[in-house]
């Protein structure tokens, strides 16, 4: 509501106006706005069919995983590169080169985390749709599935793919 003070200045008594008045916290306003947007999105998604809901959950989690993987890939690359430049003995250099080969580059880490987050969200969404609830069983199955597919995508382990998938899936369930 706009009110005049009599001296030609108009004040706003609204708490949602921009720029915010001195009594409101702009970060708190942003958080409330984002939470409202998230709730509207979740309500819209839950009104869709199960395949559409699973696809949207997978897509949004994959976007989140891309950002996280890109950030981690960048940080890991910088950390390993600086470590390689300061290493002096041969054993340390070889160890650091192996860890660099294991972690991969920016796109490799982003891909791996996209797989983990996307598959986890998809399995969770589908199980919640079939069972009607999200509980520990849903979480365990989603963690196992994302771990198993992560082992395939990342190329971890040896020649026995089934054993690697089971081992990695069980490790994801535990952590």
3-state SS track over 5-20:
CCCCCEEECCCCCCCC
d(CA 110, CA 92): 26
Phi and psi at residue 2, in whole multiples of 5°? -95, 135
Q: What are the pLDDT digits (tens) for 114-160?
A: 888 999 999 999 999 899 888 999 999 999 999 999 888 887 767 78
Cβ proximity of 109 and 103 under 8 Å? yes
Residue 132, phi-psi category: left (phi > 0), alpha (psi -120 to 50), beta (remainder): left
Please report where in the chains the tokens 């950030």 appear, as a residue. Answer: 71
Q: Which residues does 142 contact at the CB level (< 8 Å), separation at least 6?
A: 119, 120, 121, 123, 124, 127
Cβ proximity of 104 and 113 under 8 Å? no
Cβ proximity of 125 and 53 under 8 Å? yes
Q: What are the pLDDT digits (tens) for 21-58?
A: 556 788 989 999 999 998 998 888 888 888 998 898 88
- Residue 173: per-residue pLDDT: 93
Per-domain residue ranges of the chain:
24-174
**Helix (H), strand (E) at residue 2:** strand 2-4
- Residue 1: per-residue pLDDT: 44
- When the pLDDT of each residue in the chain is averaged and rounded to a whole number, the result is 77
- Residue 67: per-residue pLDDT: 86
């Amino acid at each position: 509501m706009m009110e005049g003070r009599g001296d030609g200045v108009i004040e706003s008594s609204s708490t949602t106006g921009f720029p915010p008045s001195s009594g409101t916290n702009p970060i708190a306003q942003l958080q409330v706005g984002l939470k409202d947007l998230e709730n509207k999105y979740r309500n819209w998604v839950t009104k869709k069919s199960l395949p559409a809901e699973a696809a949207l959950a997978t897509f949004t989690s994959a976007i989140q995983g891309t950002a996280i993987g890109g950030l981690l890939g960048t940080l890991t690359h910088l950390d390993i590169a600086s470590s390689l430049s300061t290493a002096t003995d041969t054993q340390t250099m070889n160890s650091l080169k192996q860890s660099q080969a294991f972690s991969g580059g920016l796109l490799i880490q982003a891909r791996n985390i996209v797989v983990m987050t996307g598959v986890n969200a998809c399995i969770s969404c589908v199980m919640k749709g079939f069972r009607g609830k999200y509980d520990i069983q849903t979480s365990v199955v989603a963690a196992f599935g994302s771990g198993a597919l992560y082992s395939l995508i990342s190329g971890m382990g040896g020649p026995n793919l089934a054993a690697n998938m089971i081992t990695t899936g069980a490790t994801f369930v535990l952590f």
